Chains A and B, each alone.
Chain A
Amino acid sequence: MADNQIKFFLELIRMNMKHSYALKTAFWLRVLFMLISNGIMLVGWGVMFHQFQSINGWTFSDFMFMTGLNITAFSIWSLFFRGTGIYMAHLIENGGLDHFLLTPKNILFHISCSASNPAGWGDFITGFCLILASNLFCFSNVFLVLIFLICSVLCFLTIGFFFSALNFWLTGFSDLSERLFYIFFNLSGYPGSIYSDWAKILLLTVFPIGFISILPVEILKTFSLPSFLYLITGISFLFIGSILFFYNGLKRYKSGNQVNTRGYQ
């Protein structure tokens, strides 16, 4: 059965890619403009680090690694799991889960993988280049970086599941849930070194963006096993928690009668 699930999700992702490439001009424009927009952002941060050299011990290279990780994880989210966030939130609010409930495959991932934003390719390229360009990256720690990347994606998924599932309880929340997700994404883009200790505790527990913007760079700079284990167990804990939260909410699902077709960018 398990391999059938995997076959289905690969097929679903393939469909998604095809769907987002159906409007070719829009596809390429999104990729291109995302690259430009990331470029502008990097100029800004470059200027800042040029001015200050280091921010509380973090150099531009450290920052590049963090941003690279952040953007790559985000791009994987927007390419393959874009269904969390506003799409899922709207489905829950408008009672649109029927079709997903009637398909004999995991519903949470079926929804999550049902949308894709081609702009993610622009982010993916930017993020990947940034990681490669950073001094923190070398071939001996490829494996570690991969683990960080997976953890960061899980972190985004956790936040996405949580804010989408809140719609089972709160009515009229769907637009806010997307916005809250983006707040978390935006905040995960600031260098982890600027936070005070209190803020760090918050960011490594209830507002879990520290798992993206603080721990990976600190671990790469000076490896510490407790930090590493905390990163992995912490993220797994939050991730499983958010899945349980979703399934708990699913029991409250109210089906609606909206006319809709599939596919969302």
Chain B
Amino acid sequence: MRPFFLLIQSSFKFQKKQLPVIGTRLVLLLILICIFNQFWQIVKDGNSATAQINPVDFIWYLMIGALLQYSRPEGLHYQIEQEIKTGNIAYKMLRPISVISIYFFSGLGSFLFRLPLLFIVSALFLLVLKGGELPQTFDAVPVIFLLLLLSGIFISLCTVFIGLSTLWLQDSLPLFWILQKAEYILGGLFFPITLYPQWLQEIALATPFGWIGYGVSRLIYDYTPQAAFETGIHILFWIIILLIFNHISYTFLRKRIAINGG
């Protein structure tokens, strides 16, 4: 396990150089919060469905959901794509640790660095914006963090999978777009999926995105231990599925490169 901790550690160090990138993301996150804050104030009146969720709960919900998107490292899928396209991956396979885990763990490292940072800044921003008012079940933050970590692992695995898809698709970008949009819509990043029509709610919760998005973020205003447990189990299930997928892809990659003779 030690090499992996070292990887996470070195990607932590790398993050210091990445501060301008993180800064830009933070600014975008705050702008987004402002836009949605304004949006919710416009739509909340005169609609029975939206009346169930008060503005403070809503904006915190949105922030938690967006955290996952904004803390993860960019371009992981693209780096893997380039490794496969240039064939460099064949040389890296000679090393004792699999290339894919290197990418996965360094991605996870930068996620671990960014998540608390972005959370603290945007939480302070929300406190100022909403006059110090907290969402209903703010105590659930530690549990939410734990679940966000699980979601981070899931998303990193997902990006690795997309990177590996280059093998079949020549290109990793198309699947990445789908991932992004699925996170937005199925994850309920516009507003909680309880406001969706029934059929769309069912679709969302049948995919991992409903759980890593809505499943985690709604705990900020509607926390019950059962709900948290249910979300955790679902995310774990999808992590296992993706581990299997990635394993298959990687084995395929090894074989294919062996056939091409490197």
Residues of chain A whose beta carbon lies under 8 Å from any beta carbon of chain B? 23, 25-26, 29-30, 32-34, 36-37, 40-41, 43-44, 47-48, 50-52, 55-56, 119, 175-176, 179-180, 183, 186-187, 190, 193-196, 199
Contacts and interface: CB of A to CB of B under 8 A. Distances in A.
A84 B121 CA distance: 33
B185 A30 contact: no
Nearest to B186: A40
A134 to B, nearest CB: 21
Given A176-B20, A194-B38, A119 B173 contact: yes
Nearest to A180: B24
Nearest to A173: B20
A29 B170 contact: yes
A47 to B, nearest CB: 6
B196 A47 contact: yes
A47 B197 contact: yes
B137 to A, nearest CB: 24
Given A33-B178, A183-B24, A44 B184 contact: yes
B209 to A, nearest CB: 11
A43 B21 contact: no
Contact of A43 (B39, B175, B177, B185): B185
A30 B42 CA distance: 37
B178 A183 contact: no
A33 B175 contact: yes
Interface of B: 20-21, 24, 28, 31, 35, 38-39, 42-43, 47, 49-50, 74, 169-171, 173-175, 177-178, 180-182, 184-185, 190-191, 195-197, 200
A124 to B, nearest CB: 15
20 contacts: A25-B169, A26-B169, A29-B169, A32-B174, A34-B177, A37-B177, A40-B182, A41-B181, A41-B185, A44-B185, A48-B190, A48-B191, A51-B195, A55-B39, A56-B42, A119-B174, A176-B20, A176-B24, A183-B31, A187-B35
A92 to B, nearest CB: 17
List of 4 A-B pairs having minimum Cβ-Cβ separation, nearest first: A33-B174, A44-B185, A37-B177, A26-B170
A55 B41 CA distance: 10
B110 to A, nearest CB: 14
A44 B21 contact: no
B184 A194 contact: no
A248 B197 CA distance: 54
Contacts of A176: 20-21, 24
A51 B175 CA distance: 29
B49 A40 contact: no
Given A47-B196, A55-B43, A37 B181 contact: yes
A59 to B, nearest CB: 13
Contacts of B31: 183, 187
Please report whether the interface of chain A is mostly helix, strand, loop or mixed according to DSSP. Answer: helix
Contacts of A29: 169-171, 174
Contact of B178 (A40, A52, A56, A175): A40
A32 B173 CA distance: 12
A126 B196 CA distance: 23
A163 B111 CA distance: 27
Contact of B197 (A34, A41, A50): A50
Contact of B171 (A26, A48, A52, A56): A26
A178 to B, nearest CB: 10
Contacts of A36: 178
Contacts of A199: 38
B34 to A, nearest CB: 8
Given A41-B185, A48-B191, A187-B31, A55 B171 contact: no
Contacts of B28: 183, 186
Given A25-B170, A44-B185, A47-B195, 4 more contacts: A23-B170, A40-B181, A51-B195, A55-B39
A175 B21 contact: yes
A63 B61 CA distance: 25
Contacts of B196: 47
A51 B200 CA distance: 13
Given A40-B185, A47-B197, A183-B24, A195 B170 contact: no
Contacts of A183: 24, 28, 31
B21 A30 contact: no
Contacts of A50: 197
A57 B252 CA distance: 54
A119 B171 CA distance: 12
A30 B197 contact: no
Contacts of B177: 33-34, 37, 119
Contacts of B191: 48
Contacts of B49: 51
A44 B186 CA distance: 8
Contact of B42 (A41, A55, A186): A55
A37 B28 CA distance: 22
Contacts of B181: 37, 40-41, 44
